[in-house]
Structure 1
Amino acid sequence: MKLSILDQVPFSEGASQQEALHQTIQLAKYAERLGYERYWIAEHHDLPGLTCPAPDVLLSRLGAETNKIRIGAGAVLLPHYRPFNIAERYNLLATLYPGRIDLGIGRAPGGSAEATLALSERYLEKVRQYPELIDELRQFLTNGFPLDHNFSNVTTRPVPPTQPKMWLLGTSDKSAQLAVEKRLPYSFAHFMSDSNGPQIVQSYKKAWEETYPNERPYVVLAVSAICAETEQEAEELALSQALWQVSQDSPIPSTEKARQHQFTEQQKEMVKKSRKKQIIGNPEQVVKELLKLKEVYDADEIMILTITHSYEARKRSYELIANTING
């Protein structure tokens, strides 16, 4: 089973945001040694506890610190940007690190309404134009505008030896249909979805096979998981994420703070709902559930998101999963 990592670049109470960024660099290097397929960085804006608003900036460092693991954005939130700017940035990365750059795209705001307004005044209008933005981005990446287009004489420089690989990320029927329409591999965020995920992914694969009968669809399934030596230890580690998710106003709290917190009934319901989309346990339990999800979704690859207060615990979680999968 192919394994990859989605990193939201969390930072914890008692640590600095600089430390969080350096931890991501170290984790990417370790992921490569463990044999992970790809390492994606998420984009967020002014969300407490998350550190990276510009994946391409961090990816430039990750590429220099690694040798072969694919690196990319999970995702560039395209309605915030002009496609030409994104094409330039990811062509630059693909020139520095040929054959290793993934350009995942999404349409979520990635932050509060106020942060969205500060970033892009016409966000909702751009969301409506999202399919056209994807087309324009692809044409800039390939220098593929028709001769009568306004941008036909614009070359996206530098021109890399291998183009960035575009992906479409989503959680809905609409995103799955758009991925087929735009002929893009699809990454489904199981950890975010309240919808019928397997049915959405199957509709993508079926539509793809009908539309492109000579090509194979490809699906990455993004899953939230925390793995530790014992189930009890994993459950303890998960308390920090649970408290952070229901509060959303601080860095990742310590396990001790989360253990002492008196969750309200409303918070308990929120945690219960979130836990249905999360895998927590010892290596055998976690891998068993990952394999089950892979089969249910018929996914080609599992991408794991892990958030804990302790960086060492997060690193160990990825290690235990990889070592168990690889035997």
Structure 2
Amino acid sequence: MKLSILDQSPISSGTTAAQALQESLKLAQIGEKLGFTRYWIAEHHDLPGLACSAPEVMLGYIGANTEKIRIGAGAVLLPHYKPYKIAETFNMLATLFPGRIDLGIGRAPGGSAEATMALSDNFLEQVRNMPDSFNNLLQFLQNDFPSDHMFSKISASPKPEISPEPWILGTSEKSAVLAAETGTAYAFGHFMSEKEGPSIMKNYMNNFKANDRLQRPKSIVAVSAICSETTERAEEIALSNLLWEIQLEKGEGRQGVPSIEEAKRYSLNSDEKKKIKNMRKKMVIGNPREVKQQLIELQTLYEADEIMIITITHSYEERIQSYKLIANEVL
């Protein structure tokens, strides 16, 4: 089984964004030593407790302080940007860090309506134009616009020897269809929505159109996982993440990921308890042996090439320990 890391650069209560970003670097470095295949960092805008608004900036920093692990965005939110600028940015990263750059693309706003308006005009129109924009992005990366196209006269420089590997990230049929039609690698966010996930992945695989860039379907399933030496401790650690999700839904949680003690003291109503129970169903929680078994089951269910793990805990040390325990058990 191939394992990778998805990082949202969470800010824990009582810490700062600067510390969260340094912990992201540390996670990438330790992931490299443990044998994880790739490290992706997500893009969010003015969301409480998430530090990374510009993955391309962090990737330059992380690339310079790692040696071989693949690094990428999970994801760049295409409707906010022009394809040409994204291609230039990731071609530059691929020039600096040859053979290591992944370009994950998503369509979500990544923040509030106000943040979306501040970032881009006509966001919904850009979402509708996503297939055309993505095709333009691929053509800029491959430098293969038809000779009569206005963009054939420009290139997304610098042109690297090894192009960034494009991925489409999503949780819906639309994202899977676009990935299949364009012959692009696909990552499904099980941690966000497991609804019909395996059938969406199967449709991607069955309808994949091979091309010079990718000959066969290539897939990742992204899973929220928390591992500790004992099941009881893993369940306890998970309380922070679960409560934080509830707080964010209520417009709270601006202080960041709550501590276990804060989570235990928090008074939940019956609806919130039900929500937490449902959220747990999407997560992998347990001791190393239990987590390994759950990951194997998910990989089999999705028929995925790779499992990408996102772990959010209040303690950065326990987050690192969770990845270590999983790697030692699985890799």
Shorter chain as denominator, the TM-score bin is over 0.9
CA distance in 1, matches of 2:113, 2:191: 22
Partner residue, 2:275: 270
> 1:194 Cα deviation (Å)?
4.3
The answer to whether residue 195 in structure 2 is matched with residue 190 in structure 1 is no
* Secondary structure of residue in 2 paired with 1:179: helix
Whether the 8 Å contact between 2:197 and 2:302 is mirrored in structure 1 is yes
- Residues 180-236 of structure 1 show CA distances to partners (whole Å, capped at 9, x for unaligned) of 11110110100111421111111111112xx44993211101000000011111111
Query: What's the TM-score, normalizing by structure 1?
Result: 0.97
Letter of the structure 1 residue corresponding to residue 328 of structure 2:
N
CA distance in 1, matches of 2:269, 2:210: 51
Partner residue, 1:323: 328
CA distance in 2, matches of 1:277, 1:113: 27
5+ long unaligned stretches in structure 2: none
CA distance in 1, matches of 2:295, 2:36: 15
Letter of the structure 2 residue corresponding to residue 279 of structure 1:
V
Compared CA separation, residues 200 and 317, structure 1 to 2 (3 A)? same
Letter of the structure 1 residue corresponding to residue 302 of structure 2:
Y
CA distance in 1, matches of 2:49, 2:224: 16
Partner residue, 1:7: 7
Query: What's the TM-score, normalizing by structure 2?
Result: 0.96
Whether the 8 Å contact between 2:183 and 2:217 is mirrored in structure 1 is no
* Secondary structure of residue in 1 paired with 2:21: helix
Q: Which residue, 293, 307, 315 being the options, matches 2:312?
A: 307
Partner residue, 1:115: 115
RMSD of equivalent CA atoms: 1.2
Q: Which residue, 298, 304, 308 being the options, matches 2:303?
A: 298
Partner residue, 2:55: 55
* Secondary structure of residue in 2 paired with 1:105: strand
Partner residue, 2:139: 139
CA distance in 1, matches of 2:128, 2:112: 19
Partner residue, 2:38: 38
Q: Which residue, 263, 273, 276 being the options, matches 1:258?
A: 263
The answer to whether residue 101 in structure 2 is matched with residue 96 in structure 1 is no
- Residues 47-84 of structure 1 show CA distances to partners (whole Å, capped at 9, x for unaligned) of 11111011010000110011000000000000000011
CA distance in 1, matches of 2:219, 2:330: 19
Partner residue, 1:156: 156
* Secondary structure of residue in 1 paired with 2:5: strand
Letter of the structure 2 residue corresponding to residue 313 of structure 1:
E
* Secondary structure of residue in 2 paired with 1:131: helix
> 1:269 Cα deviation (Å)?
2.0
CA distance in 2, matches of 1:44, 1:305: 15
CA distance in 1, matches of 2:242, 2:101: 32
Q: Percent identity?
A: 55
Partner residue, 2:292: 287
The answer to whether residue 244 in structure 2 is matched with residue 244 in structure 1 is yes
CA distance in 1, matches of 2:261, 2:19: 21
CA distance in 2, matches of 1:212, 1:87: 22
Partner residue, 2:204: 204
Letter of the structure 2 residue corresponding to residue 109 of structure 1:
P
Whether the 8 Å contact between 2:8 and 2:41 is mirrored in structure 1 is yes
Greater CA deviation, 197-206 or 66-75? 197-206
Aligned residues: 324
CA distance in 2, matches of 1:274, 1:245: 9
- Residues 256-309 of structure 1 show CA distances to partners (whole Å, capped at 9, x for unaligned) of 000111111221122122111101111111111000100111110000000000
CA distance in 1, matches of 2:303, 2:151: 40
Letter of the structure 2 residue corresponding to residue 144 of structure 1:
D
CA distance in 2, matches of 1:264, 1:120: 38
> 1:152 Cα deviation (Å)?
1.4
